[in-house]
Structures are given as structure tokens and as C-alpha cells.
Chain A
């Protein structure tokens, strides 16, 4: 326990049971497993982002060129710089999608729930095909 070193009088009150440690272990194990799975399947250098509005694909945009995309008639704005996509503007009240970090890896996404906008990074293998289909 790290707390032990800083505040001994506080830490001795934290008496975790054996089952607590097992629980923490399981949570960390699942988290690590999910993380590894994502890293494994995800891979780097994805090619493009798919923008969906209300479940329908609005467009597929390449990550390799810098561009600004207006989504859903201007409710959201997506900025692509240095192969990463970032939501820079949204008219929703909570601004969760704007505050979210930029995405670049395969499978990562930015979601704006109030406007039902989903931006997903796709695998690089399909990128050229999708870019043509655009």
C-alpha cells in the first residue's frame, strides 16, 4: 500500500479484506486483458475515419490529409491534423466529445450522443477502398 508511507495513521484504518484484494485483482486483470486486446487488434497508423450521423454514414475521410469536416449540417466540427482526428466544436450542452482526446488508432472513436454523431477510426487496409467509395 503506497498510502502506508505517507500517512501511516490514515492507512492503518484502511484494512482491506482478502476478498477485496481478489476483487481488485480481477478488475485489474480484466482491464489489462481488454487493453492488450485493443492494442493487439487495434494496431497503429489507421487510414481513415468514418463519420456516422444517426447510424447512417455521412462520409469517410482520410487521416493522411489535414482537413476540417462539418458534421450533421454544422452541429459538430471535426479537425484532422497529423493523422489524428479531434472534435473541435459541438452545439451540445455537455461538450463531452469536444473534451475527449483526439483519436488515431483503429477502432477508437469520438461519440457525441446528443447529436448522435459517431466518428470511428477504421483499419488501414480498407482505407483506400473506402476513400474511393466516398
Chain B
């Protein structure tokens, strides 16, 4: 039990550091709101290494912390909507089986963007923002693919590592 708390702390710290690194290197694709989502790498890893409940908690804690530190109250709402939808879809695909880590991560990236778009459309009460969907889908596909490749490589090296459940 003590181990799990420690691991959770390490995961939270890692996710927070990755959020910070991302603010340092704004990998801009020339499209507002599109970024790599490095912190999602930790979420994907956690999905495979921690319990689902813990992964959800990790995601929420990460967003609240990084939101208070680097963002504002808008960014917290966006991130929450995106991250929770993304994590739910990833968990579903993982349970469904037949998807590789990259595929799961791609779905995560895409639904992260879709969740944020939905919140954006609700906040500004505007539905023409739908024209943005193709851009967000392709962006989510690419970033999700990158994160998936990274996660796969990391998990490959963490095969023997278990959280002692």
C-alpha cells in the first residue's frame, strides 16, 4: 500500500514536470490549441501500469496542479474535459482489445481535442467552430501517434517493473 502511494507520487511529479517542459517548449503547429501533449505520455503509461481509478485520479490531479501553476481557470476546464474524455476512450479501447498502444494513444489524442472543442463550443455558444474538426482530428492523430510510439518504447523497457498490486 505504501508502495502504491509512492508510485502515485512519482507519476504525479512526472506528469507535472512534463506539463512544465511543454510550456517551456511550445511546439507550435501554427494552429491555436494544438500541442504535443507530453503529459499524456505519462497518462498512457499509467493506464497500462496503474489501476484505472488511479489513472483517473492522476489525470485530474495533474491538470489541477498544472492549471494552477501555468494556466488559468479556462485552461483547467478545457484540459479536464479533454483529458477525461480521452482517458475514458483509451480505457474502453484497452478493454476492447486488439488495439496496440499506438492505436490507443491515437484515440486518446483525437478525443482529447474533441472534448476541448465541445467545451469551447459550449462556452462561446457557437457551433460554427465545427469547421475546426478536421484540423483537430488530424492533429490529434499525429500527436497521439508520436505519444503512442514513445509510450510503447517506454513500456517495453518497463516490462519487469510492476507497481506491486
With A96-B32, A118-B126 known to touch, is A28 a contact of B138 (CB < 8 Å)? yes
Which residues on B sit within 8 Å (CB–CB) of A5? none
Which residues on B sit within 8 Å (CB–CB) of A57? none
B107 contacts A23, C-beta separation under 8 Å: yes
The CA-CA distance from A117 to B91 in the complex, in Å, is 36
A93 contacts B137, C-beta separation under 8 Å: no
A18 contacts B98, C-beta separation under 8 Å: yes
With A20-B100, A120-B126 known to touch, is A31 a contact of B138 (CB < 8 Å)? yes
| Choice from A20, A31, A107, A116 contacting B99 with Cβ under 8 Å | A20
With A31-B133, A31-B134, A31-B137 known to touch, is A109 a contact of B128 (CB < 8 Å)? yes
Distance (Å) between the CB of B92 and the closest chain A CB?
12
Distance (Å) between the CB of B11 and the closest chain A CB?
24
| Stretch in A9-17, A59-67, A68-76, A125-133 with 4+ CB within 8 Å of B | A9-17
A96 contacts B33, C-beta separation under 8 Å: yes
A21 nearest CB neighbor, chain B only: B103
B126 contacts A27, C-beta separation under 8 Å: no
A114 contacts B74, C-beta separation under 8 Å: yes
Which residues on A sit within 8 Å (CB–CB) of B93? 23
A29 nearest CB neighbor, chain B only: B137
Interface size on B, residues (CB 8 A): 36
Distance (Å) between the CB of B70 and the closest chain A CB?
10
Q: Within B77-135, which residues are at the interface with A (CB < 8 Å)? A: 93, 98-100, 102-103, 106-107, 110, 120, 123-126, 128-131, 133-134
A-B contact pairs, 11 of them (CB 8 A): A20-B102, A20-B103, A23-B103, A28-B137, A32-B134, A38-B134, A101-B31, A108-B131, A109-B126, A114-B72, A116-B124
Show the binding face of B for A, using Cβ within 8 Å: 28, 30-33, 72, 74-75, 93, 98-100, 102-103, 106-107, 110, 120, 123-126, 128-131, 133-134, 137-138, 140-141, 149, 152-153, 156
Show the binding face of A for B, using Cβ within 8 Å: 13-20, 23-24, 27-28, 30-32, 34-35, 38, 42, 55, 93-94, 96-97, 99-101, 107-109, 111, 113-114, 116, 118, 120
